[in-house]
Structure 1
Amino acid sequence: GISILCFFLGNPLTETPRDMEYITRTVANPDPFFYVFAICFPAFTGMTAGVGLSGDLKRPKKSIPLGTLSATLCGMVIYLLLAFKLGYCAEPDALAGDQLIMSRISVWGPIIPIGLACATFSSAVGSIMVAPRTLQAIGSDELLSPGVNRWLSAGRGASSEPFNASVVACLIALVFVAAGDVNSVAEIISMFFMLTYGSICLISFLEHFAADPSYRPTFNSRWYISLLGALACFWLMFKMNGLYAFFSLVIMVGIYLLISFTNPEKAGMAAIFQGVIFQLSRKLQIFLQNAQHGPGELNWRPSVVCISENTFKRTSAMEILRWMSHHYGFGTYIHFHRGYLSKATKAEADALMERLIRLARAGHSRVFVDTMVSPSETSAISQVIQLPGVSGHENNGLLLEFSKVHPEDLDTVVSNAPLIVANQLDLYVLGSSERKFGYHREIHIWITRQDEENANLMILLGYILLGDPEWSHGMVKIFATYPESRLGEEESRLRKQIRAGRLPISQHNIRMIAQTEQTDIRDLVNHHSQDADLVILGFRYELLKHVGKELFLGFDEVGDILFVRASGQKMLATEKEMGELTQTLGEEELGRALDEGKPT
């Protein structure tokens, strides 16, 4: 303080009158601002010394915020006044060429080196007190391996002075001192200070955003101040030295990963990010709900719920739901646990939930999984129908499954179909076989004259399933059966609709089959699709009411088969797109293009 006072009482080195232009004067070929800033920045860092000595403070909750803010404001004022005083009292060349020019300006020159020595010694003592205590605290919190923790946390004397940690801190300091280049050392030190401040600000912002009730700081700040501080710190790091900044971040991430590996139970950052994701998901779901004015037929995407009691016996339902939700859609898988809700059944459901999560994780599934305790399939399905979509998008389909070898579960499908249809959901019924979708090469879609309302949904499903990596080498084949008198008309319409919808289905993979009154669709499917990896076939609810579960039986020659009943017509292309395609090609050219597989 005395040296600063003596400096401010000093006189300019020249008698030349000074004007305000001295503020903007500079030397020839000056160093970049951020290079100088990186060298000077360690001088500003003493303002947070109290944080490292919080254990020695009487009232740290009050002293740390007050001391930090006071030191910051006082330091800013003093450094600004020093800059103005130096600029007023000496020429830029003199300031750049004389490192002890403050002694020449001061009323008593020797006080400046003495003050600098005291400040340097004080800073060194502060660092040598804070760093070992920080290392000792890391060991006490058992953040590293057990042996390192015991050695670092060991103390001497009644106050447990961190002797071992001091040895480590001194060795690190000696390594940097031995580097010799003071400017480079200052840059490196600035990086880690900036990284510390930026990380603190970032964690503060994330805690604000996560809105964790357990985060109750005694000194409240604003989220935007924390965000601005974090962005400013990381921006300054890369402006000062991009290479040093990159390696500093790598070291920080490496230390964090090491701590996470040695202490998997300490999930501090994981808990913060979980809170952030929770809040972000909540806000997005509310936004989607407010923006949803009704299902768009053209912009339809599957949001399917599957409920099954046989999760751990047959995985086909979860597989096809995973493919549906990999890229284009959303999937929710509910494991049905039969019984009345009680403490015992709740514990059983929790154990099943852990198995379900492991199963989903093993398959890299993007499906949301859960369990449901209910006394019957009907009550469980009625609850599932009312579930809100986890994505913010309303559920629009329900998937049930049965084994083709033991089709007893079809009774559940038939008895609950009226409930599903009444709630205007698309109904999917998967018949699982021992082939388990074969080689994921061919999807056969069957369109008949009795279920044309299901055609677009089945074609869209085929396209969506091909979006999963397991079907990356797969293809869709379409088989359409109509009376011979309508074959040409329906073929032209189907091909035109697929082309207008820009679906990646080859024109050569569309096959029209003449159907007579004696033709049984089962015979056609068993004959043409016996090597298909998945068959998709539509059905009408009216026919299901009439014939019951027999509707799903008799397809013994094929593997897995997905029966589809659409709640409403889905659009592959708008009427405008269909009209533009017709106008562009012309009717005759369109016919030739369709025959030749000519792309549009």
Structure 2
Amino acid sequence: MKLFKRADPPEETQPTAKTSPDNTNDTGLGTFGGVYTPSILTILGVIMYLRFGWVVGNVGLLGTLLIVTLSTSITFLTSLSVSAIATDRIVRGGGAYYMISRSLGIETGGAVGIPLYFAQALSVALYTIGFAESIIDAFGSFNQLYVALITTIAVAVLALTSAEIAIKAQYLIMGAIVLSLISFAFGQPLEATTIEIWADSGQSSEPFWTVFAVFFPAVTGIMAGVSMSGDLREPSRSIPTGTLAAVGTGYVIYMILPIVMAMRADASTLIENPLIMKEMAFWGPAILFGVWGATLSSAIGSILGAPRVLQALARDGVLPGRLSVLGNGSGPNDEPRIGTAVTLGIATATVCIGDLNIIAPVLTMFFLTTYLVLNVSAGIEGFLQSPSFRPTFKVHWSLSMLGALGCLAVMFLINAVATVIAAVIVLAIFIWLQRRELETTWGDARRGIWMALVREGIFQIGEEDTKNWRPHILVLSGIPKKRWPLIQFADDLTHNRGMITVCSVLPSSSRDVSQQSDMQDTIREYLEKRGVQVLVRVVTATDFFDGAKLLVETYGIGPLTPNTVVLGDSQEPSRSDRYCQLVAHIHKAKKNVVILRENSERGFGQYRRIDVWWGGLQNNGGLMLLLAYLLRTDMDWRNAEVHLKLVVPEESAAQATQANVDSVIQNLRIGASSQVLVSQGRPFYDILHESSQDADLIFLGIRTPGENFTEYYQDLQSKTVGLPSTVFVLAAPGFSYGEVLSDR
């Protein structure tokens, strides 16, 4: 799997010539020109001119004011979240993508940023086609396609020349919109009418939420200013001020207009005439200027924002390496001219293709998805109370989460099918980015999320109980390459049900303590390449046994400590005493001891047969049966048969013992078969060798450490020479593993 990394230093730690360390840009745009202007011009768009009368006519004055308030509330909450993020960290080019990627990670940022770019790029075509349609309606003698193409190229030339020039062009457009609103304010009623507070259900042709869905895009223009983040003089100051001011201005205008409309025409007139504002205005052509200004300003906002998102995606390595040229900037303001040219190509092709009605709902979903994720980002950061999250504009996390829920609700109200399509696309991009294993040099909130969950989980775990027992294994393997079967065996036992920690003890004289972290990273990378998900712990001690005792005593946090220690069998007589003392120490610490004695020639054989030499559910017997059951849940051992073997001294006891064992197996539902063997005076180990010679793995219980335990263990080793791979099991005292099985 290929690994992608950025070749250049992270922007967060290396201020460019353009941007100083205090997050200011001496040559950048100000709050009014860089944030407020593009935002308010996108908010006061074509819906205000062509659909506002229709909204009032369908739901009445009170319904319209309610729709405006609900819609603006969602945008306002999102603006608060954007303001919190913008005042917490340096905000550079890429706007919403930059904020999300630095908060929830590059995969989430990319999954939202790529669709957001295409939505903005296609929106250029959407707005220029709308402009062309209005020209044709007014004059009627032009070709719509040619007008749309010329308009698309014109706004792109503005953006290519300079973002600052494009912003100045928007001042003229703002003037046209202001003129249209003044002309409308001094207009005259069309007919004598009474204000309809709430639309008559008999006259209303559309339900409330359908009308809400039509109006809502009118208040979703805040991203136009956020997308200019890389060109702002002080983004952490301009984004909150400009965005909130634009939302407030839009709300005031949208609350006044329906009152005026309701006073000047009745419901049927408002519904039937899309350009009703032109009929009411003091000077009708001013409304046309406003419509043209609204479409052009939205197109300019999109052609300015989309290339900057593309530039940020390329610079972070989200896009494939061959597209890295899209991250280049031009001129002293680092303008994305290559990205603008690419965006122009996409918009031009879309204009030539024609109708965007089919994909328009999906584009709206991408914008709302961006809002939703921005709210989630701010909400999570605020909820976790990470020390690194210190915004100067403070917002309670509940407000951000409320904004996220509002966005989600509106998405389904507007178009449930388009919502699902957008979600599938975002999820597909997220999975693709995860599989590319992108590495970032900045931190994000994901670690904080897991830390909060782990903290809460540790306090909730409590003491270990039979109902929820899981194997948490400490593997004293040393260097994994040399003792790989130990790690493989532990991994087969847990099968993602518990945790494994692979431990290595380094002699104090061989390595400095400061190098332990590097050693842990090396071991972890090796195990990840082998497909084993484990924790790694390296300690320094005078010898292996002292280090192992230290790990057994101290490793873990609260109740989340290993309950089972996996060891390799010691073959050196000179170390037998220390080894057996370690086993006794682990047992006194109330942890299970599992010793794997591998047959180096046969390994685990064919993974088909497991022999458990059993003495009942108590003590070692319950644990051995439980381990055999867990082993069979692994893919390698899924076809293995568990043979439960017992030895009785005489034939007379065999039948009753067989019946008892079969009853236990049936009650435990573990799918094992039993075999009762009669010793007839033969030594146990002779029976063991004869009966289990063809097994792939053998489980044997060992006695509790006490006097002469070293001699006992040495005798056990000598009497099991030549057997298949064998596991010696010593259950922790005071815990009933039989109840673990019976609780299943």
TM-score, reference length from structure 1: 0.82
Q: 1:267 to 1:351 in 2, by over 3 A?
A: closer
Identify which range, 414-423 or 142-151, moves more after superposition.
142-151
Report the secondary structure of 2:614's partner residue: strand
Q: Summarize the alignment of residues 299-448 of structure 1 with structure 2, pairs less than 5 Å apart.
A: 299-309=468-478, 311-339=480-508, 344-347=512-515, 349-389=516-556, 392-402=559-569, 410-434=576-600, 435-448=602-615
Equivalent residue for 1:90?
265
Aligned to 2:674: 510
Q: C-alpha displacement at 1:148, in angstroms? A: 3.5
The answer to whether the Cα contact below 8 Å between 2:576 and 2:710 also exists between their aligned partners in 1 is no
Task: Write the distance in 2 (CA, Å) between the matches of 1:130 and 1:326.
Answer: 48
Q: Is the 8 A contact 1:341 1:373 kept in 2?
A: no
Match of 2:218 in 1: 43
Q: In structure 2, what is the equivalent of residue 595 of structure 1?
A: none
Q: Does structure 1 residue 558 correspond to structure 2 residue 723?
A: yes
Aligned counterparts of 1:427 and 1:263: Cα–Cα separation in 2: 38
State the match for 1:205 in structure 2.
379
Kept in 1: contact 2:645–2:677 (CA 8 A): yes
Q: 1:12-411 to 2 correspondence within 5 Å?
A: 12-22=189-199, 26-28=203-205, 30=206, 33-34=209-210, 40-139=215-314, 143-145=318-320, 148-150=323-325, 153-156=328-331, 158-181=332-355, 183-184=357-358, 186-208=360-382, 211-252=385-426, 264-266=438-440, 271-288=444-461, 291-292=462-463, 295-297=464-466, 299-309=468-478, 311-339=480-508, 344-347=512-515, 349-389=516-556, 392-402=559-569, 410-411=576-577
Query: Do the aligned residues in 2 keep the contact of 1:431 with 1:562 (CA within 8 Å)?
Result: yes
Equivalent residue for 1:597? none
Query: What do you get for the CA RMSD once the two structures are aligned?
Result: 3.5
Q: What CA distance in whole angstroms lies between the structure 2 residues aligned with 1:368 and 1:67?
A: 48
Q: Indicate the SS of the match to 2:610.
A: strand
Which is bigger in relative contact order (C-alpha 8 A, separation at least 6)? 2
> How far apart, in 1, do the equivalents of 2:638 and 2:314 lie?
50
Change (3 A) 1:192 1:416: closer
Q: Is the 8 A contact 1:402 1:408 kept in 2?
A: no
Task: For residues 247-287 of structure 1, give each alpha carbon's deviation from its aligned partner in whole angstroms, at most 9, with x where no partner exists.
Answer: 44455456667777889333668x43333223322221222
State the alpha-carbon separation in 2 of the partners of residues 142 and 462 from structure 1: 47
Q: What are the superposed Cα offsets for residues 490-524 of structure 1, whole Å, 9 maximum, x if unpaired? A: 4343333332223222xxx21112235x5322211
* Equivalence for 1:594: none
Number of residue pairs the alignment of both structures matches: 561
Matched, 1:535 2:714: no
Contact 2:610 2:697 in 1 (8 A): yes
* Structure 1 residue 154: Cα displacement: 3.8
| Matched AA of 1:296 | D
| Residues 1:62 and 1:300: Cα distance change in structure 2 (over 3 Å) | closer
Q: Secondary structure at the match of 1:357?
A: helix
User: Do 1:536 and 1:562's aligned partners in 2 also have CA atoms closer than 8 Å?
Assistant: yes
Q: Deviations over 1:182-208 (max 9, x none)?
A: 644643432232132223223333434
- Equivalent residue, structure 1, for 2:619: 453
**Counterpart of 1:322 in 2: which secondary structure?**
helix
Query: Does the aligned pair in 2 maintain the 1:458–1:536 contact within 8 Å?
Result: yes
Q: How does 1:465-544 map to 2 (within 5 A)?
A: 465-484=631-650, 486-505=653-672, 509-515=673-679, 518-541=681-704, 542=706, 544=709
Task: From the superposition, tell whether residues 184 and 358 of structure 1 become closer, same or farther in structure 2 (CA, over 3 Å).
Answer: same
Query: Would the aligned equivalents of 1:445 and 1:476 in 2 still touch at CA under 8 Å?
Result: yes
SS of the counterpart of 1:513?
strand
User: Identity of paired residues, percent?
Assistant: 28
Note the C-alpha offset of 1:410.
Answer: 4.6
Distance across 2 between alignment mates of 1:153 and 1:385: 55
- Output the CA distance in 2 between the equivalents of 1:152 and 1:419: 60
Are the structure 2 counterparts of residues 444 and 301 from structure 1 closer, same or farther at C-alpha, using a change threshold of 3 Å?
same
The answer on whether the counterparts of 1:497 and 1:573 sit within 8 Å (CA) in structure 2 is no
- Residue identity opposite 1:427 in structure 2: V
* Structure 1: distance between partners of 2:361 and 2:466: 60
Distance 1:574 1:212 in 2: 39
8 Å Cα contact 1:304-1:398 kept in structure 2: yes
Change (3 A) 1:39 1:567: same
The 2-side partners of 1:242 and 1:17 are apart by: 37
One-letter amino acid of the structure 1 residue matched with residue 475 of structure 2? C
Structure-2-length-normalised TM-score: 0.67
Q: Which deviates more, 259-268 or 525-534?
A: 259-268
User: Structure 1 residues 519 and 336 mapped into 2: Cα distance closer, same or farther (>3 Å)?
Assistant: farther
User: By how many angstroms is 1:563 displaced?
Assistant: 0.8
Q: Is the 8 A contact 1:481 1:514 kept in 2?
A: yes
Q: CA deviation at 1:136?
A: 4.0
Contact 1:207 1:215 in 2 (8 A): yes
Amino acid at match of 1:312: K
Contact 1:403 1:433 in 2 (8 A): no
Question: Which stretch has the larger CA shift, 134-143 or 74-83?
Answer: 134-143
For residue 738 of structure 2, give the secondary structure of its aligned residue in structure 1: coil
Please give the alpha-carbon distance, in whole angstroms, between the structure 1 residues aligned to 2:318 and 2:646: 65
Work out whether residues 133 and 165 of structure 1, in 8 Å CA contact, stay in contact via their aligned partners in 2: yes
Q: Distance in 1 between matches of 2:322 and 2:480?
A: 45
Change over 3 Å in CA distance of 1:408–1:251 after alignment to 2: farther
User: 2:133 corresponds to which residue?
Assistant: none
Matched residue SS, 2:504:
strand
* Structure 1 residue 89: Cα displacement: 3.5
Contact 2:477 2:487 in 1 (8 A): no
Deviations, residues 73-107 of structure 1 (Å, cap 9, x unaligned): 32233224334443454333322321111122234
Q: Deviations over 1:19-48 (max 9, x none)?
A: 4344867543x38845x6565444323334
